[in-house]
Amino acid sequence: ILILAVESSCDETAAAVVKNGREVLSNIISSQIALHTLYGGVVPEIASRKHIEAIDGVITQALQEAGVTLEDIDAIGVTYGPGLVGALLVGLAEAKALAFAANKPLVGVHHIEGHICANYIENKDFEPPYMALVVSGGHSHLVYVSDYGKYEILGRTRDDAAGEAYDKVARAIGMGYPGGPKIDAAAKKGNPNAVKFPRVFLEEDSYDFSFSGLKSAVLNYVNKQKMMGEPIVPEDIAASFQQAVVEVLVEKTIHAAKERGVKQIAMAGGVASNSALRETMRKACEKEGFYLSIPSPILCTDNAAMIGCAAYYEYMAGVRDGFDLNANPGLKLGER
Ligand code: ATP
Ligand code: MG
Ligand code: FE
């Protein structure tokens, strides 16, 4: 089964050809990051326009690199939510047009399901059940995956997503957008114990997250230092902030896995490419005896290969969408 997948939910225009769900024949990503950096974050209007410019070329390249034509494809998978509505519409309209023109089935995919499915690509034997920590620019979820396509959200962020906190803190200490990779790099040169930032665990046994208090603590610290004429060491702040985020993410994930009695943990989303999170989670899983799956960094951030993988499992489960499929910016995981 060959899936052509299209992804345009945020600031990456992406297309991929995926064979039998787990074999990536091509994975083309056209990133707009350099453009949005000028504005310190993603500008939705600009994102939509750039998607329109890029999408045809990206799809053509994905087919070419895979050495297939549209006729060889069995189904077209496309992200239809959640994300920026204008951005989603570009990929969706394109996918519908191709499905109509080539008479191929259309399969709508949930973007976060795609992030989770990225774990199946490099790890051919990895299967549910497992506990998934989804940490991206817009989401922080603890998800119990009991089977393919079966998701139970145990916890979610009550305010900022983990990636959002990284981006906002980076801006506050003058590191620019996107903040995640910049903080990751700076933290390697800093002392994680330099500044004592709060670890927010919320109520006992809650699997929810909260990162806005930590973000405020960082901002307050920076302002206080400036007011008192004390120096700020961005590397130390980055390392201390990152340590506070990572400790909470790892502890809650391990706790949830134990409580559910699963033996496997998976990570997904852009923040899963964070080196400190990967390292800390690896050590914790080793100590507690959990198998850990983490996609390569390029499959953690937005891409279409993960959408092709998710579409394959939906397709095999019989999912087919009509041309009335609409973009749904607030689509919930596990709902259609
Ligand atoms: P969502 O998937 O929730 O719709 P998104 O698609 O914008 O949001 P992703 O592409 O999954 O998010 O991830 C982007 C986020 O990941 C950004 O917030 C970015 O700062 C963060 N990120 C990327 N690399 C790293 C890193 N090495 N360390 C920490 N954060 C990172
Ligand atoms: Mg992005
Ligand atoms: Fe994403």
Give the pLDDT band of residue 113 (cuts 50, 70, 90).
very high
* Residue range 65-84: mean pLDDT, rounded: 98
Atom number in ligand 1 closest to CA 112: 2
d(CA 217, CA 199): 11
Residues with Cβ within 8 Å of 223's Cβ and at least 6 positions away in sequence, in order, are none
pLDDT at residue 15 tops 90:
yes
Residues with Cβ within 8 Å of 312's Cβ and at least 6 positions away in sequence, in order, are 1, 3, 18, 20, 21, 22, 77
d(CA 291, CA 193): 29
pLDDT score for 290: 98
Q: How many CB atoms lie within 10 A of CB 313?
A: 19
DSSP state string for 53-122? HHHHHHHHHHHHHHT--GGG-SEEEEEEESS-HHHHHHHHHHHHHHHHHHT--EEEEEHHHHHHHGGGTS
Please give the mean pLDDT across all residues of the chain: 97
- For ligand 2, a single-atom ion, which residues have Cβ within 5 Å? 10-12, 302
Tell me the residue length of the chain: 336
Instruction: Please check whether residue 113 is in contact with residue 139, taking contact to mean a CB–CB distance below 8 angstroms.
Output: no
Ligand 1 within 6 A of CB of 303: no
Q: Whose CA is nearest to atom 29 of ligand 1?
A: 180
**25 CA distance to ligand 1 centroid (A)?**
24
**302 CA distance to ligand 3 centroid (A)?**
5
Instruction: Please check whether residue 294 is in contact with residue 266, taking contact to mean a CB–CB distance below 8 angstroms.
Output: yes
Q: pTM for this one?
A: 0.97
**68 CA distance to ligand 1 centroid (A)?**
31
For the beta sheet containing 150-156, the strands, ordered from the edge strand earlier in sequence to the opposite edge, are 150-156, 140-147, 130-135, 264-268, 291-293
d(CA 40, CA 33): 10
180 marked as part of a ligand binding site:
yes
111 marked as part of a ligand binding site:
yes
Ligand 1 within 6 A of CB of 179: yes
Give the pLDDT band of residue 178 (cuts 50, 70, 90).
confident
Helices (H), the chain: 33-37, 44-66, 85-102, 111-117, 162-172, 179-187, 212-227, 234-260, 275-288, 297-300, 305-316
Q: Three-class SS of residue 30?
A: strand
pLDDT at residue 177 tops 90:
no
Encoded tokens for 309: 């993988």
Task: Name the nearest CA neighbour of 145 among 231, 289, 266.
Answer: 266
Q: Three-class SS of residue 207?
A: coil
d(CA 270, CA 137): 7
* Residue range 77-97: mean pLDDT, rounded: 98
- State whether ipTM is beyond 0.85: yes
- For the stretch 131-167, pLDDT in tens is 999 999 999 999 999 999 999 999 999 999 999 999 9
Q: How many CB atoms lie within 10 A of CB 157?
A: 19
pLDDT score for 317: 97
Instruction: Please check whether residue 88 is in contact with residue 53, taking contact to mean a CB–CB distance below 8 angstroms.
Output: no
- For the stretch 190-225, pLDDT in tens is 999 999 999 999 998 899 999 999 999 999 999 999
pLDDT score for 27: 98
Of 7, 8, 9, 10, best ligand 1 pocket probe by most atoms within 8 Å of the beta carbon: 10
**216 CA distance to ligand 1 centroid (A)?**
20
d(CA 205, CA 42): 35
